[in-house]
Chain A
C-alpha cells in the first residue's frame, strides 16, 4: 500500500480515537444540567471523566499535528477555511478545560455554576462544530487552483454540514449518556438511562438521514464501501440502543463507540482518495497525492506512529482500568437537607 494511503488511514484512526474518547466527554459535559441536578450530583457526573478527559483531548492535538506532517496541504486549507468555527471550538475547549479543572477549587455556589456553564458551552460548541466541519469537508468546498477556500462563512452553513453537526451533537450526547449509565449507580444512572433512550431515538432519525444523504453525494468513488460502512454504523447504533434497553451497560457503550468510529470511517471512505473536493472545479480538489508530505517524511512518521501509538493506547487503557469502578454517591444525611447542595465528602486521598 502507498504510504499516502497508510497516512490517510492513520489520520482516520486518530480522529476515531478523538471522537470515540472525547465524544463521551462532550456528552458527559452536555449532560451536566440534565443529570446532575444538585451540586454533589454534578460533581459525581464530572468524576466519571475527570482523570481521563485531558488524555482524550490530546487525540485532537495529535490528529492536527499528524495532518500537518502527513498532509500539509490538507492542514493548511482546512484550518484556514474553518477560521471562525475553529475559533469557536478553541474558545469552547479552553473554557471547558478550565471549568473542569477549576470548578472544585472553591466551595462557592456561584463560582461552580459559572464553571458548569462553561463546561456545558465548551462541550456543546465542539460537539456541534466538528460535525459541521467534517460535513463540509466531505461535501466539498469552493476551492481554487491554489487550494485556497474562496467562499464565505455562509458557504459553511449549508444544510448537509448542519445536519452533520446535529448528528455529532446528538450522537456524542447519546454516547456520553450510555457512558454515564455504565459509570454511575442509583438515581444518577436512572436519569442517564432515560436520557440515553430519548436522545438515542433522535440520533437514529438524524443519523440515518445523514447516512442516506451521504450516499447520494456527488463525486464519491467508493459507493459500495460507503454503503457497507453506513449500514454497519447504523446497525452499531441500533445494537448499542438495544443493549441499553436490555441493561447491558458495557455492550451498549461498546455499541455507541463503534457507531462513532463507524461514522468517521464512513466519512473518510466517502472522501478517499480526495481530502477536500473542490465544488468549483473537481480538478482543483485536494487529494492524498497532491497534498501529502514527501515519502521521506511519511516514512519517518510511519515508524514513529507504528512504535508510539500502541504504547499510547496501552497506557491510556491502563488509566481507564485504574479508574474503572462505578461512581456511587454516598447517602445524604436526611436530617440535614442543607447538606444536599454541599460537595460530596472527599475520598480518602483528598487533598484538603
Chain B
C-alpha cells in the first residue's frame, strides 16, 4: 500500500464520517431555532418542550461534528502538504474565513444558548440559537467555496516559478458556478436530514402512545368496560399532541427541502456537464458521445469499467438533465479520454466508473424514497389519525421511522463520494493530479497508524452517539415547569442536555 492510496482512504473515511454529523447539525439547528421562535411568539409550553427535546439531539450530534471537522483541516497539511503548498494562496482564505466568520459564532453562541436559559433575556437567548443556525450555513458556504475551486478552478493564475496557483480574483472564487449550484443543493439536502430526524423521533413517540392506548382500551374491554372508558395518561396526552406538531413540522420541512434538493440537483447536473463533462459521463456510465443522450437506469459494464455490456435506458432524458432540452449532445467517457490525453498528456483521465455510476444512483434513489416517506407519513396521519400498531401498516410504523433519517443521510454521503470520486484523477481539476498532492516526507506506516487510530476512534464514537441519541429520544419530552430562584451565586451549571 502506498501513502497516496492510504491517505485517500483516510481522507475519505474521515470526511464521510464527519459528514454523518454535519447535515444533522445544519438541519436541526434551523428547525430547533424555528421551534424556539414559535415558543417565544406563542408562549405555548409545547414548543419549549420540543425545543429542549430536539435541542438535546442537536447537541449530542454537534460535538462529534465539530471535533471531526478539526481533523479535516489538519489533514490538508498533514497528508497533503504538496497540495497545500500548491493551492494555499486560494484555498486557505475560505478556510480561515470559515473559522473567523462561522466557527467562532457557532461555538460561542451555542455555549450561550446551552447555559444561558436563565441568564439571558428570552429574545437575546433566542437570537443565540439563530446565530448558531446561521453559522452552520455560513460554514457550509466557505468549505464549499474551497471545494468548488478543486472541482472547477477559477480566479487564479499559475506561477510557474513558485509552482503554485495564485489568487487573482476572489470574487470569481466566491461566485464559482459550481459553488452557486452546490450550495442550495447541499443546504436543502441537510435540511432533509434534520427534518427526517425530527419526523422519526416524533413518529416513534406517536407509535408508542398509540400502542399504550390500544393496550389500555383492550384492558378496559377485558374488564367489562368499553374502549371509550379508557383515559389516556396526561403525560402521554401531552406527548401525543406535542409530537403531532413535531411530526407535521418534520414532514412538511422534509417535503419542501426534498423538492428544493431535486431542483437544485438538476441545476447542479447542468453545471457539472458544463465544467466537468467527464464526471457527468461517469455518473451515467456513458461511454460514447450521444446526441440525443438517453438516461441509464441500469448499466452493466465490463469489470474494468471501460465498456458497456448491457443497459436499460430512457431515451433523451440525459440530454434533458444535462442541457434542459431533449436533443443536446452529451459527451462520452471514451471521447473525453481522448480529448484529455491530448490536452494534459498521456494518462487515464476517467474516474472509477462503477463507483461514480452507483453512488450517483444511490444518492438520487434514497433521496426520492425519503421524499416518498414524508408524503406517506403525512397521508397516514391525516385528520389526526394515529399510527397503526398491527398488521402491515403496524410493521411500517414500527421500522419506518427508525430507517427514515438514514435515507437522506446516506444520500448526502453518497453524493459526496460521487462528487469527490468523480473528480479523480485530479485533486484540483486540470491542474494538480491527486498523486502529486501528497506530503513527500510521509511514510506508509505513519499513515497506516493514523488511519487505524482515527477509524477505530470513530467507530467507538459512532456507537456511543447512537446510544445517547436513542436514549434521549426514548426519554421523551422534558419537564419545563418554571422554578424561579434567586441568581446570587452560580451553582455548578446544568448541562444535563
Contacts and interface: CB of A to CB of B under 8 A. Distances in A.
> Do A and B associate with each other?
yes
Interface of A: 40, 43-44, 46-47, 50-55, 57-58, 60-62, 64-70, 72-73, 75-81, 83-84, 86-87, 90-91, 93-95, 97-98, 101-102, 104-106, 146-150, 185, 293-294, 296-297, 300-301, 304-305, 308-309, 312, 315-316, 319, 322-323, 325-330, 344-352
A83 B440 contact: no
In the A-B complex, the 9 residue pairs with the smallest Cβ-Cβ separation, listed nearest first, are: A72-B88, A79-B77, A69-B92, A68-B92, A349-B117, A62-B99, A65-B96, A76-B81, A80-B81
A75 B118 CA distance: 43
Contact of B491 (A84, A101, A327): A327
A47 B111 CA distance: 12
A304 B99 CA distance: 11
Given A75-B77, A86-B78, A98-B461, A296 B168 contact: yes
Interface of B: 52, 55-56, 59-60, 63-64, 66-71, 73-74, 76-79, 81-82, 84-85, 87-93, 95-101, 103-105, 107-112, 114-120, 164, 166-168, 170, 439-442, 446, 449-450, 453-454, 457, 461, 464, 468, 471-472, 478-480, 482-485, 489-497
A87 B68 contact: no
A86 B439 CA distance: 15
A147 B496 CA distance: 49
Nearest to A307: B100
Nearest to B63: A101
Contacts of A78: 77
Contacts of B170: 296-297, 300
Contact of B453 (A83, A87, A309, A344): A87
A44 B60 CA distance: 21
B471 to A, nearest CB: 8
A51 B492 CA distance: 11
A86 B446 CA distance: 12
A300 B172 CA distance: 14
Nearest to A57: B107
Given A97-B66, A148-B441, A40 B104 contact: no
A64 B73 contact: yes
B101 A308 contact: yes
B115 A79 contact: no
A72 B70 contact: no
A316 B84 contact: no
B77 A349 contact: no
B462 to A, nearest CB: 11
Helix, strand, loop or mixed for chain B's interface? Answer: helix
A91 B453 contact: yes
A64 B103 CA distance: 13
7 contacts: A43-B492, A70-B92, A80-B442, A84-B446, A84-B450, A322-B120, A325-B490
A326 B488 CA distance: 10
Contacts of B56: 351
Contacts, number: 285
Most-contacted residue by chain B among A58, A67, A78 (CB, 10 A): A58
A81 B441 contact: yes
Contacts of B494: 346-347, 349-351
Given A69-B89, A304-B93, 16 more contacts: A40-B492, A47-B490, A50-B495, A51-B115, A62-B96, A65-B100, A66-B92, A68-B88, A68-B92, A76-B82, A83-B442, A91-B454, A148-B440, A149-B441, A305-B100, A348-B482
Contacts of B117: 349
Contacts of A93: 67, 70
B472 to A, nearest CB: 8
Contacts of A101: 59-60, 63, 495
Contact of B108 (A304, A308, A316): A316
B100 A308 contact: yes
A309 B77 contact: no
Contact of A102 (B77, B96, B103, B468): B468
A182 to B, nearest CB: 13
Given A73-B88, A91-B457, A80 B490 contact: no
A319 to B, nearest CB: 5
Nearest to B87: A72
A103 to B, nearest CB: 8
A64 B74 contact: yes
A67 B478 CA distance: 44
Contact of B167 (A60, A81, A97, A297): A297
B104 A84 contact: no
Nearest to A78: B77
A305 B453 CA distance: 35
A32 B77 CA distance: 33
A86 B78 CA distance: 8
Given A304-B100, A349-B118, A351-B52, A50 B111 contact: yes
Contacts of B64: 98
A13 B56 CA distance: 35
A351 B478 contact: yes
B74 A86 contact: yes
A79 B96 contact: no
B58 to A, nearest CB: 12
